[in-house]
Amino acid sequence: MIRLPGGTFRMGNDDETANPGDGEGPVRSVTVGPFHIDAHAVSNARFAAFVKATGHVTDAEKFGWSYVFAGLLPPGTARALPAPAGTPWWRGVPGATWRSPEGPDSTVRGRERHPVVHVSWHDAAAYAAWAGRRLPTEAEWEYAARGGLDQARYPWGDELTPRGHWRCNIWQGEFPHVDTAEDGHAGTAPVDAYRPNAYGLYNTVGNVWEWGGDWWTEGETRVMRGGSYLCHDSYCNRYRVSARTANTPDSSSGNTGFRCAAD
Ligand SMILES: [Cu+2]
């Protein structure tokens, strides 16, 4: 974990390119106290250690299915549940779990250093409690992800690909049909891929959405931050440091994970 001294920073974003319903703005001064935060998302190896120690059963395992991006499904994947309205690239896949991210015939072998996915907010909170940690507040997450840069668009600055170099794992090509993987990865990347920000945090934007400790405004969904490997300007530009979304605490998908914080 990384120890951060805390301080006052400008949180949020007034840019009109943000999604109006997301509540990124207005920009306001926020003060956070000192805290610790994981340098990267919790990996499959770490989550496996938690499950081995506790026998934890994830929400996706209880429900018997989870959402997988259609483009990552092995050919012939059977009995996928229909996609939700408006997002035809998702499939509800029976047997998709953190151990089998693309369904029963898949494994995380070779992806031990990739972020755990198909974990709900409940699963993330259970892991954090086991580890003697907690999920970061939104303010802590954004303060840490900004790495000391005031109102920059990304954790490293305002330019998406400085000098032509990719700094995060998002979608390149034509979403949702062609991912050219110009950034080096289609699907998840290892938790410590790319260069960290100035505070030493890896992959705060892109790779996987990260559950946060806070409720969304209305109190039925939990905040998620950072965007994922599926983000692309043509559909979802939430791979920015101020971007946010939410989901119900029992939801899971192949592009959502988490990192922990501690006092
Ligand atoms: Cu996105």
Residue 27 in domain: yes
Q: Which residues surround ligand 1, an ion (CB under 5 A)?
A: 227, 231, 236, 238
| Structural domain count, the chain | 1
* 164: DSSP letter: G
The angle at the Cα of 186, spanning 61 to 143, to the nearest 5 degrees, equals 80
Residue 90 in domain: no
Does residue 35 register a pLDDT over 70?
yes
Cα-based distances in Å from 134 to 31, 69, 186: 19, 28, 30
Extract the tokens encoding 2: 């990384």
Burial (CB < 10 A; 0-12, 13-18, 19+), residue 33, is exposed
The residue segments making up the domain with residue 191 are 2-57+115-262
In 3D space, the residue among 2, 97, 96, 94 whose CA is nearest the CA of residue 48 turns out to be: 97
Does residue 21 register a pLDDT over 90?
no
Placement of tokens 């501690």 in the chain: 262
Does residue 219 register a pLDDT over 80?
no
For 94-153, the pLDDT digits (tens) are 999 999 999 999 999 999 999 999 999 999 999 999 999 999 999 999 999 999 999 999
Residue 66 in domain: no
Residue 69 in domain: no
Residue 81 in domain: no
| Mean local confidence (pLDDT), 196-200 | 98
Quote the ligand 1 centre to 52 CA distance (angstroms).
32
Residue 164 in domain: yes
Quote the ligand 1 centre to 132 CA distance (angstroms).
30
Quote the ligand 1 centre to 235 CA distance (angstroms).
7
Quote the ligand 1 centre to 54 CA distance (angstroms).
32
Residue 20 in domain: yes
Q: Which CATH number goes with the domain that contains 126? A: 3.90.1580.10
